[in-house]
Structure 1
Amino acid sequence: MTAAASGPVFSLREIPFSHRGSWFGFSPVVAEKTYAEDVHLVSHQTGMHAILRLVPTAGTAGTAVTATPHQLTWSRDDGRIDLAYESTDTVRLRGAGLGLSLLAADPVLTPFSGPYFYQDPVDGSHVFTVYQTGRRYRISVLSGRAEAVGAQALGTAERGVILAADEPWEIAVEEYETARAPYAGGVAFEQVVKAARAEFDAFTAAVAPWRGDRTPAAELAAYVLWSATVRPAGFVTRPAVLMSKHWMDKVWSWDHCFNAMALADGLPDLAWDQFRLVFDHQDAAGALPDSITHSEVLYNFVKPPIHGWTLRRLGPLGDADRAETYRLLERWTRFWLDARRAPGRELPHYQHGNDSGWDNATTFDPERVVETADLAAFLVLQMRELSSLATELGRPEEAGHWSQAAERMRDALLAELWDGTRFVARGAHSGRTWSSSSLLDLMPIVLGEELPEPVRNALAAGIEAHLTAFGPATESPASPHYLDDGYWRGPIWAPSTVLIEDGLRRAGFVELADEISARFRRLCEKSGFAENFDARTGEGLRDRAYTWTAAAYLILAADHERRL
């Protein structure tokens, strides 16, 4: 990634080109770890689906593709094509010296899959009706010469629109449901680009007003969040920042917390939407879903209760919001106390590593249904927050109840899972305990000043042992279970880094917290905003446009700038 006067320049293999509010983007990434030769229009309604291939008529060889936040360009010595968003569901393209083929990405049409292509007799536009998304994609030719191929064809016929290279051309491409008025246009392409840039610049100014030479990745981090935001649709009840507009195109019930924190100072309403979205799907037991997409809400797992910790960073609430937040947070907390504690036990349990967010961490190798120290620590913080909210609401009895419950759980955590040198995990069925080399066992540092000094010291020393040149590895590099690309068995992740940095700072280990912040920020500046990173080399792994990583950079950079 590089910075330019017109904004950061990025690779489409790393970050898709999209626009705040849109459900589609442009990328060669067409499925998980699947990279096409050509740029595709990829929709995230009803899943991730490659809809159209965009192929310059001169081919991809020798054609450079350049992306900035407001414009996508194909260029050669003999011509260029530009693309920009006019609105959340409409893009404009123009070409001079280069033609363009917009072809169905799926070459097969059956009664149950694939694109049906036809010319609309009402306005002469060319329309793909796509089974996978249940949407239409309309191509309106504004100028130039176009040829349709495969209209109304069945089977494996090539389908699409070909724009000739021998004269300048311009088109609009729209995503919609059943019908809409013919494309009216009227706005010059230059104005479309100018408006897109102005919208992104306003977003960046709001979320990173402190950016400068010391924070070279801030603008691109803002773009990752801005471009991954979708408008409400389907089960997505609010404007939502997806975790990515690559294949990790969901909202998970702890990822959203970090995006909310990154947005809180500059865009509090959007931040609040991120926090509240998962609570819109809270079930009768008080549990939050594992994940939410356009067309699916999953409850097969939950995610850790970091929501009380998060609320401390989201700023003051109005009276109505405070009362509603208290109600929702209380229900989420009681789920853990009522449904996730074995009879006679003070400490709650995860039913699987996925519940913790650390899916395959070595903490869960001996058993899956496990009482862990991180879970208890998060709930202590959450009950402290409930006590504070109850006090603000003028409910002293409830405030006292939650304060006492927090103290009981903290005392049980120290009495039952601290072995004198480290925290252990305990099987909910067997009652046996064990330790691991996972960073997860050190997460109770989030309790900060609530921990006794010897416990704080031991946790800080353990965290320091996990520290590589790029940040805290999720599995000790000295462990026989460490894997460079082992998901939660080695790589560096944004959420664990932010939680640990905050806990260390509140526990009094400011220099170590500063060092972890600096190393992670340098990592993002070097390797972008990947889902996770190789702890030894710093290489970005898995999905390379992950919003909670971008959010973590913005959170840590903003905090650092405020401390200067």
Structure 2
Amino acid sequence: MTAASGPVFSLREIPFSHRGSWFAFSPVVAEKTYAQDVHLVSHQTGMHPILRLVPTADTVVTATPHQLTWSGDDGRIDLAYETADTVRLRGSGLGLRLLAADPVLTPFSGPYFYQDPVDGSSVFTVYQTGRRYRVSLLSGRAEPIGAQALGTAERGLDLPGDEPWEIAVEEYETARAPYASEVPFDQVVKAARAEFDAFTAAVAPWRSDRTPAAELAAYVLWSATVRPAGFLTRPAVLMSKHWMDKVWSWDHCFNSIALADGLPDLAWDQFQVVFDHQDAAGALPDSVTHSEILYNFVKPPIHGWALRRLRPLADDDLAGTYRLLERWTRFWLDARRAHGRELPHYQHGNDSGWDNATTFDPERLVETADLAAFLVLQMRELARLATEVGTPEAAGDWSQAADRMRDALLAELWDGARFVARGAHSGRTWSSSSLLDLMPIVLGEELPAPIREALATRIERHLTAFGLATEAPTSPHYQDDGYWRGPIWAPSTVLIEDGLRRAGCVGLADEISARFRALCEKSGFAENFDARTGEGLRDRAYTWTASAYLILAAEHERRRL
């Protein structure tokens, strides 16, 4: 829904936050866990509800990108970000209790609450995040509750509603100067709105009544962006400021593409952010977040495919980009090919990004057609980069390696009617009803025409009224909320739409794009969607879904014009 002041959204679906901030305001306090009250939830060291915001009367909560409002019969409370780590709240005719979200305090959990004798502020120091949350009274009066209390006593601040009041809440480390600001609240709101409007104008200058979800998609990206901290050493777009608060090593590619035209520096940061943690073998981590880097799995090598679309962003360091992509590719060629085999393998469905796809039901270590196809594209991109950095011999080597892998893919995994998977240990082959088996369409014009046509026909069987089901709806393994065994996902949609278009199947590509865009306009930007009903599933504020909408909508508008 869009109002004159910008899109209006439900906090149960999308948290209220601000570009650069590590915290948000939401009733979602854990995976699929919804509290009665809005909470301040921090994403430093994980997802942690910190403060509970409890109005003293019944209210209706309204969220727009620049302001959060509680409205009651006799008054209202407004909240807006002044900076990435500071919010302002004011109340008129309505009181607020600001309470520790966790009532239990031990030496290793929970918030400790005290009144600071230096500046008179109220401070929560929280074990889970290792941060402090300072509340400074700007006007009105406040009564502390349970200051310095231990055990399970309620702790916090009571702001009576019998007179207007205003506070500032800050997240910081150990100490900072007493809060001071001469900026009035209305100006704080105006500045927040201007910042969001500028972001939206940059990433979706083409938006119109034909793209009604564009502003909200931009907000999902803007609000999920965090400033450098912890292991994220550059501005990063988290997948969500709900529980999926990480950067996974293929999700980031879609966010980068969505940002590339309007915000190239931020886009390039998104592409590079996981390469900052490339290991000695050349592998990218499975995921990175504030306080954790995981290497137990990897993600598919779609980075060459993505770089084809991001190519101008690499101009400042072509040689460096070439080295990063080369090391990532050699990881697959050196560490993920069984002896004597041309085709590489995944060690688990998680490596593919399609965690529980039915392709992996018979065995876990599997040579799949999608992996080979991605690497063919990646080696083609390496050949182009090698030419541009002045190493024609390397360019020739990469072109020949891409030819060999493409030829092996067609000779070994195409059975005349469809692509099959092959066990890395057993050597046996099988087929499934997963859309993953059709992903080689990303090779586009590189595929022989009969294979393109066969793949397009099978892809069409996955197309429901809302988009591409990841498991064929006629399959006995199909599940409405089966993760990669049925629901519609953004990345598979974008990859297949792009491959079909390059394969000359423009009509089908147009239909897939249109249905996914309509799905987002109906159901928002969920992690995935029920392929039969279009209902949003799992995390409901997922950035790669918002990015997919922006990518497809921008391309559609360009084609229309």
Give TM class, smaller chain: over 0.9
Amino acid at match of 1:422: R
C-alpha distance in structure 2 between counterparts of 1:158 and 1:76, whole Å: 25
**Aligned mate of 2:323, from 316, 320, 327:** 327
Q: What is the deviation of 1:317?
A: 4.2
> Given the alignment of the two structures, is residue 428 of structure 1 paired with residue 424 of structure 2, yes or no?
yes
Tell whether the 8 Å contact from 2:52 to 2:98 is kept in structure 1 after alignment: yes
**What is the SS of the residue equivalent to 1:136?**
strand
> Given the alignment of the two structures, is residue 533 of structure 1 paired with residue 529 of structure 2, yes or no?
yes
Could you tell me which residue of structure 2 aligns to residue 279 of structure 1?
275
Q: What is the deviation of 1:394?
A: 1.3
C-alpha distance in structure 2 between counterparts of 1:374 and 1:317, whole Å: 26
Tell whether the 8 Å contact from 1:99 to 1:165 is kept in structure 2 after alignment: yes
Amino acid at match of 2:514: A
Q: What is the deviation of 1:186?
A: 1.1
Could you tell me which residue of structure 2 aligns to residue 18 of structure 1?
17
**Aligned mate of 2:140, from 144, 151, 160:** 144
C-alpha distance in structure 1 between counterparts of 2:289 and 2:31, whole Å: 16
Could you tell me which residue of structure 2 aligns to residue 412 of structure 1?
408
Aligned-CA RMSD value: 0.6
**Aligned mate of 1:370, from 355, 361, 366:** 366
Could you tell me which residue of structure 1 aligns to residue 31 of structure 2?
32
Could you tell me which residue of structure 2 aligns to residue 52 of structure 1?
51
Q: Identity across aligned pairs (percent)?
A: 88
Could you tell me which residue of structure 1 aligns to residue 226 of structure 2?
230
Deviations 1:288-322 (A, max 9, x none): 00000100000000000000000011141455411
Could you list the runs of 5+ residues in structure 2 that have no partner in the other structure? Answer: none
Could you tell me which residue of structure 2 aligns to residue 104 of structure 1?
100
Could you tell me which residue of structure 2 aligns to residue 68 of structure 1?
64
> Given the alignment of the two structures, is residue 91 of structure 1 paired with residue 87 of structure 2, yes or no?
yes
C-alpha distance in structure 2 between counterparts of 1:300 and 1:412, whole Å: 28
> Given the alignment of the two structures, is residue 356 of structure 1 paired with residue 352 of structure 2, yes or no?
yes
Could you tell me which residue of structure 2 aligns to residue 499 of structure 1?
495
Deviations 1:56-78 (A, max 9, x none): 011xx4x1000000000000120
Amino acid at match of 1:443: M
C-alpha distance in structure 2 between counterparts of 1:544 and 1:484, whole Å: 16
Q: What is the deviation of 1:331?
A: 0.1
Could you tell me which residue of structure 1 aligns to residue 7 of structure 2?
8
**What is the SS of the residue equivalent to 1:473?**
coil
Tell whether the 8 Å contact from 2:268 to 2:313 is kept in structure 1 after alignment: no
**Aligned mate of 2:472, from 452, 473, 476:** 476
Q: What is the number of residues matched between the two proteins? A: 560
Could you tell me which residue of structure 2 aligns to residue 517 of structure 1?
513
Classify 1:477/1:319 alpha carbon distance in 2 versus 1 (closer, same or farther; 3 Å). Answer: closer
Tell whether the 8 Å contact from 2:314 to 2:321 is kept in structure 1 after alignment: no
**Aligned mate of 2:391, from 364, 388, 395:** 395
Could you tell me which residue of structure 2 aligns to residue 447 of structure 1?
443
Could you tell me which residue of structure 2 aligns to residue 219 of structure 1?
215
Moved over 6 A (4+): none
**What is the SS of the residue equivalent to 2:380?**
helix
**What is the SS of the residue equivalent to 1:65?**
strand
C-alpha distance in structure 1 between counterparts of 2:538 and 2:147, whole Å: 38
Q: What is the deviation of 1:429?
A: 0.0
> Given the alignment of the two structures, is residue 198 of structure 1 paired with residue 194 of structure 2, yes or no?
yes
Q: TM-score when scaled to structure 2?
A: 0.99
Deviations 1:472-510 (A, max 9, x none): 100000000000000000000000000000000000000
Classify 1:318/1:477 alpha carbon distance in 2 versus 1 (closer, same or farther; 3 Å). Answer: closer
Q: TM-score when scaled to structure 1?
A: 0.99
Tell whether the 8 Å contact from 1:264 to 1:315 is kept in structure 2 after alignment: no
Deviations 1:258-291 (A, max 9, x none): 0000000000000000000000000000000000
Amino acid at match of 1:136: R
Deviations 1:218-240 (A, max 9, x none): 00000000000000000011100
**What is the SS of the residue equivalent to 2:274?**
helix
Deviations 1:417-476 (A, max 9, x none): 000000000000000000000000000000000000110000000000000000110000
Could you tell me which residue of structure 2 aligns to residue 248 of structure 1?
244
Q: What is the deviation of 1:185?
A: 1.5
**What is the SS of the residue equivalent to 2:309?**
coil
